[in-house]
Structure 1
Amino acid sequence: MSTPARLTLSVLGGDYAVTRLDPHAALPHWVMQGEMQGELWSLSRTPDELSVLCAAALVPAGLQTQAGWSALKLHGPFEFTLTGILSSVLNPLRDAGIGIFALSTFDTDYVLVAREQLPEALAALRQAGHQVLP
């Protein structure tokens, strides 16, 4: 099955950061700080690193972090048999010169763009035929 021609996306509230920790580090307790969590957080461990995506305000000083991300939610759920979901969003962003950080969950995908490039990202997505909710 191929992807629907037009996807619906929305901008999540908040400022997000991606942090790199040692691959053997304990899971960081600061990610799960009650109401300050934000709408999205994720932990991913590989043999090379432990990556943390969370609200920028939660990240302690002194860590290898890139802050200033805005998060876009692709409204799913999407069947695993669908193809081209991410590429239908990433290609217009690539063509507009906008870098991304992508994250997938069981039901859907999230694409983060630099906060200062959010207006251009939204314009590129709309021009590609996607609906971006306010």
Structure 2
Amino acid sequence: MGVSLRLRMVPGRYGIARLAQDAAVPDWAGGEGLWAVIQADDEITVVCLQERIPDEIESSRDWLCLRTIGPFAFDATGIVSSLVAPLSAAGIGVFVLCTFDGEHLLVAERDMAQASALLDANGHRFVR
């Protein structure tokens, strides 16, 4: 077994929205809960509580969020792979965001029970 992490659930249901590369950052992107705006050369991705995403915006909804309890050294290795590898091997897709002090792993709500069991079986522990 590799890295053993402590994880907690982040409250809320999240959506992942795609905007055009030249779109302005919308007012609805920020607010309570986890939120992130990522600009790439061909698109803008917004992650936020799904109830803030307007219906007409292209998005994927019903994601739940797990967060590692850090902080971790920036040069620490194996953090993300220890979370993603067992889920990927089971066919569970994830969306990962990293912050200064930890990782946020978004898992589709329909897969969360299985994902939690797999992470627990791989030595990770859930705390409240």
Report the count of equivalent residues.
127
Q: Counterpart of 2:91?
A: 97
Q: Counterpart of 2:30?
A: 32
Gap runs ≥5 in structure 1: none
Instruction: Let me know the Cα RMSD of the aligned residues.
Output: 1.1
SS at match of 2:88: helix
Per-residue deviation, 1:32: 2.4
Normalized against structure 2, the TM-score is what? 0.94
Q: Counterpart of 1:77?
A: 71
Name the amino acid aligned to 2:49: A
Name the amino acid aligned to 1:25: A
SS at match of 1:70: strand
Name the amino acid aligned to 1:77: P
Normalized against structure 1, the TM-score is what? 0.90
Gap runs ≥5 in structure 2: none
| Distance of 1:131 and 1:92 partners within structure 2 | 14
Q: Counterpart of 2:9?
A: 11
1:58 aligns with 2:52: yes
Matched residues, percent identical? 37
1:42 aligns with 2:39: no
